[in-house]
Every structure is written in structure tokens, then in C-alpha cells.
């Protein structure tokens, strides 16, 4: 018969954070006076879930364009 191939596993996004947790979630409270909150989307921040600028090295290395999510409190 035809040879059967297992699909290649996809590379992991999360390589090192909270690996013992079944699901990484973070709850944060922000106040309007805090200014924008920058949340990491590259999973490389040493201050995860906050962005620490590590995405710059990730982007350089991988020719990517990832940046943080900026959460801004509404004035109203």
C-alpha cells in the first residue's frame, strides 16, 4: 500500500512560560491613570504578560512584525 506520513507537528508558540499550567491566562486590573498597558504577543517577554521590548529581537531574528497589544482605558 501507500506509505503513510504523520503530519509534522507545528512549532510551539509558547516555548518557556508557565509550562506546568494547562492553560496560560492572566487577569489584570487597570486604572485610567495607568496609561496604556502593553501586553506581550511574542511570548518572549521576561515580564510576561507585559511587553518588555523583547519582540524587537524576535522580529529581527525571524523577519516578523509582532508588537504588543496596547490597552487604553476609556475616558468615559
Give the nearest distance from C-beta 76 to ligand FES in angstroms: 28
| C-alpha span between 12 and 39 (Å, rounded) | 19
Residues that bind ligand FES (CB under 6 A): 40-42, 44-45, 51-55, 66-68
| For ligand FES, the closer CB: 65 or 76 | 65
Give, in order, the Cα–Cα distances in Å from 70 to each of 30, 38, 60: 12, 5, 21
Q: How many CB atoms lie within 10 A of CB 53?
A: 14
Smallest separation (angstroms) from ligand FES to the CB of 57: 9
> Which lies closer to ligand FES via its Cβ, residue 37 or residue 41?
41
Amino acid at each position: 500500500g501507500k506509505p503513510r506520513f504523520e503530519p509534522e507537528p507545528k512549532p510551539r508558540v509558547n516555548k518557556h512560560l508557565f509550562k506546568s499550567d494547562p492553560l496560560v491566562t492572566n487577569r489584570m486590573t487597570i486604572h485610567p491613570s495607568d496609561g496604556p498597558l502593553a501586553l506581550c504577543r511574542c511570548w518572549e517577554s521576561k515580564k510576561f504578560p507585559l511587553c518588555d521590548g523583547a519582540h524587537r529581537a524576535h522580529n529581527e531574528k525571524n523577519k516578523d512584525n509582532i508588537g504588543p497589544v496596547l490597552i487604553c482605558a476609556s475616558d468615559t
